[in-house]
Amino acid sequence: MKKDAKIYIAGHRGMVGSAILRKLEQEGFSNLIVRTSAELDLRDQQQVTDFFSKEKPDYVFLAAAKVGGIVANNTYRADFLYENLQIQNNVIHNAYLNGVTKLMFLGSSCIYPKLAPQPLKEDYLLTGPLEPTNEPYAIAKIAGIKTCDAYRDQYGCNFISVMPTNLYGYNDNYHPQNSHVLPAMIRRFHEAKEQGLPNVTIWGTGSPLREFLFADDLADACYYLMQNYDEPGLVNIGSGKEISIKDLANLVKKVVGFEGSIDFDTSKPDGTPRKLMDVSKLADKGWSYSTELEDGIKLAYEDFQKKHVER
């Protein structure tokens, strides 16, 4: 990508999109196009058509999506399927119509079958049933991967797909009900500390294993792949390391400085028992993560305190 290339970052106010925007600015790109959802509703076909025909971007990072944790995914099943399909269909199709040089579609590790062998290789896509709680979201993301491949096959479009592991970092979503596990923990432990509560309750047994990647590391990987990867299929992006929910809770407790105890509500669902990405394909391309989990949680907690804590 040349420094003056016109680059559209869809979803620039979200955690992933804002990290990509920061990375591009740091690398000296100046012709960056962004629109808030109020300015451009990506679910609206006509608005997206008008935007692309007017702006004619050279490159597109498709990081816009309706996202949430296990509760939100399971509660708003129709919304997650419909809105994500609308967003990605509109952007990918208009990228083709307007001759975009390259597009990157960002998916999610939930695309893999619930009981797929671990670590998760790219080849395991569509080899078994999905985790029921987030199946609609996963189906939308799988459709996005296949849409990129289909446009590559039929029209020769250089559209690539990347699948990040669980992410956290600056501009994360700390909503009490609709956030992912790590930001939810940061909020819960912080509020418990502020209120002087004796304990914090975590859903499930604490035994599931999860992998986490700092969002700025993801942005670095996306930038790297936009320069160095032009193949069909998908690329996993992760740290290749995993931690139990119990150990994660203890780590967040330590960073936040909560003095009480941790209880596990075993009546609540655990979700997928283990979810670790096989990142050997990405490593073979020459990239690996740089932010260790405890360091990243410290940065995320500082960001949370700046933006969500009343002084």
Residues 6+ apart with CB under 8 A from 63: 9, 10, 11, 12, 14, 16, 17, 20, 106
Q: Is 180 annotated as a binding residue?
A: yes
287 belongs to an annotated ligand binding site: no
Check the annotation: does 11 bind a ligand. yes
Give the Cα separation of 222 and 68 in Å (integer): 21
Catalytic residue among 59, 96, 112, 137: 137
Is residue 14 marked as binding? yes
Question: Is 164 assigned to a binding site?
Answer: yes
| 15 carries a ligand binding annotation | yes
The verdict on whether residue 100 carries a ligand-binding annotation is no
CA distance 159 to 7: 14
Any known ligand binding at 182? no
Spatial CB neighbours of 107, under 8 Å, sequence gap ≥ 6: 141, 142, 144, 145, 161, 162, 163, 164, 234
Q: Is residue 92 within 8 Å of 85, Cβ to Cβ? A: no
- According to the annotation, is 311 in a ligand binding site? no
238 is in an annotated binding site: no
Strand order across the beta sheet in which 209-210 lies? 243-244, 209-210, 274-275
Q: How far is residue 35's CA from residue 39's CA, in Å, rounded to a whole number?
A: 6
107 annotated among ligand-binding-site residues: yes
Do residues 252 and 186 make contact, with C-beta atoms less than 8 angstroms apart? Answer: yes
171 labelled binding-site residue: no
Residue 149, annotated ligand binder?
Answer: no
109 is an annotated ligand-binding site residue = yes
Q: Is 18 assigned to a binding site?
A: no
CA angle 231, 232, 235 (to 5 degrees): 80
Residue 137 appears among annotated catalytic residues: yes
Residues that constitute the known binding site for NADP(+): 11-17, 106-109, 141, 164-167, 180
Residues that constitute the known binding site: 11-17, 106-109, 141, 164-167, 180, 188, 203, 210, 270
Residues that constitute the known binding site for substrate: 188, 203, 210, 270
| Residues belonging to the active site | 137
